[in-house]
């Protein structure tokens, strides 16, 4: 894990060298610097960093950590970004961390925002702070029940053709683009059913606990979703991270996957595992205080100039789910 001064330098933009992961969010007129909170650990080197954006999840954060720490098998760090939390999320998080008995957790870093960053920018902040070879993005509403789920994700990344690995689902970009007319929407819907694997849509709530998580098969797809989502850190750096200029809550994962395919021909992978979520517990469904609601509204009105948006007029399906065998070790 990076040292205290290194982390403070990244968050503060000191020396006139703004970290590329923060360059989009700092342009916003209401921007305020994130603050470094508590740091726990001896700085030992870990296999990966878990990036966890948290927005008012006091009721479920301990459950998440119990499942994560109980089923992770690799030494790792946690970067928790408390995104203008107005409840006791921080208290419940640290109570759970202080009481945890996992020998795999090495270092924990707390970052606090005083204005809402939302998920895209929070993830980028976490990626910037991490210094491990791999990072895994996680959300507190996830219930992770596959033993060694983190090792399974990183095994998929042992293949250089794989850009990122998701434990939730894989599908075609047609599911993102939909269609402008009713006929187009029906056509995309029908064709997409043949190009979906895993826990697409509400399946993560109803079928997540029953996924077969035995075996070495994963699936290359056009795109995959968060929940959990693993990357090589240098791949994120190469693509300048999530596009926080055009996204703040959703579809940034598909944009990033598309950019990886365009630039290097790499595809994301879906890795079957037991992961579930109660959809009403997700951050996107939380009640917003006036400041949160105001900034949400302003961000929603921004013009979308993303690669994902511009590629829509050229899009033709380019990858049906293709099974491949993961290597035994990451």
pLDDT of residue 54: 97
What pTM did the predictor assign? 0.94
What pLDDT, on the 0 to 100 scale, is given for residue 328? 79
Which residue in 118, 113, 108 sits closest to 288, CA to CA? 118
- What confidence score (pLDDT) does residue 145 get? 97
What pLDDT does 181 receive?
Answer: 59
Superfamily of domain 4-325: Spore Coat Polysaccharide Biosynthesis Protein SpsA; Chain A (3.90.550.10)
Q: Residue ranges of the domains in the chain?
A: 4-325
Six-digit token pair at 240? 């300048």
| pLDDT given for residue 24 in this prediction | 94
Q: What is the predicted pLDDT for the residue at 325?
A: 97
Locate the DSSP E strands across the chain: 35-40, 48-54, 76-83, 105-113, 134-137, 142-144, 162-166, 169-171, 197-198, 217-220, 223-224, 229-232, 267-270, 275-277, 322-325
Nearest to 120, CA basis, from 132, 128, 108 = 128
Name residues of the chain where pLDDT drops below 50. 330
């Amino acid at each position: 894990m990076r040292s205290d001064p290194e982390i403070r330098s990244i968050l503060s933009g000191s020396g006139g060298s703004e970290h590329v992961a923060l360059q989009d969010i700092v342009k916003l007129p209401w921007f305020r610097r994130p603050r470094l909170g508590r740091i726990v650990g001896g700085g030992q080197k870990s296999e990966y960093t878990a990036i966890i954006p948290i927005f008012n999840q006091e009721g479920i954060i301990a459950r998440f950590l119990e499942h994560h720490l109980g089923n992770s098998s690799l030494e790792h760090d946690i970067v928790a970004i408390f995104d203008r939390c107005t409840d006791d999320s921080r208290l419940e998080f640290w109570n759970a961390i202080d009481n945890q008995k996992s020998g795999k957790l090495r270092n924990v870093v707390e970052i606090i925002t005083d204005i809402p960053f939302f998920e895209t920018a929070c993830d980028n902040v976490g990626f910037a702070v991490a210094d491990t070879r791999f990072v895994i993005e996680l959300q507190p509403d996830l219930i992770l029940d596959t033993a060694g789920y983190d090792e399974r994700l990183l095994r998929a990344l042992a293949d250089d053709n794989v850009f990122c690995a998701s434990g939730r689902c894989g599908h075609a970009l047609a599911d993102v683009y939909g269609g402008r007319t009713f006929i187009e929407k029906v056509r995309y819907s029908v064709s997409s059913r043949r190009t979906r694997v895993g826990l697409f849509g509400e399946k993560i709530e109803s079928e997540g606990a029953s996924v077969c998580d035995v075996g070495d098969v994963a699936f290359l797809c056009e795109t995959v979703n968060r929940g959990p989502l693993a990357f090589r850190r240098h791949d994120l750096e190469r693509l300048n991270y999530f596009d926080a200029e055009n996204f703040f809550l959703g579809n940034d994962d598909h944009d990033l996957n598309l950019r990886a395919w365009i630039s290097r021909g790499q595809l994301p992978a879906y890795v079957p595992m037991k992961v579930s979520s109660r959809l009403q517990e997700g951050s996107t469904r939380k009640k917003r205080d006036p400041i949160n609601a105001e900034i949400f509204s302003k961000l929603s009105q921004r013009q979308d100039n993303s690669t994902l948006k511009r590629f829509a007029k050229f899009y033709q399906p380019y990858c049906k789910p293709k099974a491949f065998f993961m290597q035994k070790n990451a």
